[in-house]
Amino acid sequence: MKIGFVGLGNMGAPMAKNLVAAGHAVTGFDTAGVTVEGVTPAAAMEDAVSGQEVIVTMLPNGAIVRTVHEAIVAAADPETLIIDCSTIDVESARAVHALAGEKGLMSLDAPVSGGTGGAAAGTLTFMVGGSEAAFAKGRPLFELMGAKAVHCGEAGAGQAAKICNNMILGISMIGVCEAFHLADKLGLDRQAMFDVASTSSGSCWSLNTYCPAPGVGPESPADRDYKPGFAAELMLKDLDLSQTAAEKNGAATELGRHARDVYKAFVEGGGKGRDFSAILEKLSAG
């Protein structure tokens, strides 16, 4: 396929590279002037999206997505499929779907889970909202950039799934970090704590796969001085999105709200640029 890719940051660059490796012709644009091996650089965004069969975007927030998609819709060819892989608010996702629909373009909101490691390895999970026809057209590309793609429903459903999933993740990571902190205070060996909890009722992804304790469990950012696979400020962004959605829809999410407040304090207190599992390091430091 001929693919335009807008947003070649820490996530977008390896995703675009995987598409190139599979033999697709990818033209890319990034406002920072980033270039990716094998991706044809475009001098302007319109050059990246004109004449393409599929356009993929990976952008920071809903306001930017809305602005960029206005330009994409104006420049894209008829019947182009637009896939937005950004993590944004549900309302913005639905707005850009409507914008695409007015011009007769297919669109998908397809945020991802898996972090920069998953983007590089091509093992991301895509949570996808949009029509069945659009999902069918996009599925081959999801299979190249990731390990799993779930069609969650109509416009905005992918974003809804993403913020609910990451609310669980933020809450569970704080719980795991607090459990290790308490174990330390009680004189319990961290390895023993892991061996028990990872095979009993405390088992969860934040413990078993992404353990926040260095030297315990599978290798994780904790073993690399908490260099982020998923930065704390990105977790804060997702938790902010979950709480905005909860407030607008009258959902009671007390633990989600508390997790948002914990990460807000962590990021503002020096945690920016650290992995979201570095909450354990903060607790251990007192």
Catalytic: 237?
no
Strand partners of residue 26: 3
What is the C-alpha separation between 6 and 67, in angstroms, rounded? 12
What is the C-alpha separation between 98 and 38, in angstroms, rounded? 33
Helix 157-185 vs helix 90-102: crossing angle, to nearest 10: 160
CA dihedral over 170, 175, 181, 183, signed as positive or negative:
negative
What is the C-alpha separation between 162 and 151, in angstroms, rounded? 12
- Please, which residues have CB within 8 angstroms of residue 268's CB and are 6 or more apart in sequence? none
What is the C-alpha separation between 260 and 111, in angstroms, rounded? 20
CA dihedral over 29, 69, 169, 181, signed as positive or negative:
positive
What is the C-alpha separation between 148 and 164, in angstroms, rounded? 18
H or E element, residue 239? helix 232-249
Annotated active-site residue in 17, 162, 237, 282 = 162
Q: What are phi and psi of 83, to 5 degrees?
A: -115, 115
What is the C-alpha separation between 66 and 272, in angstroms, rounded? 26
State the catalytic residues.
162
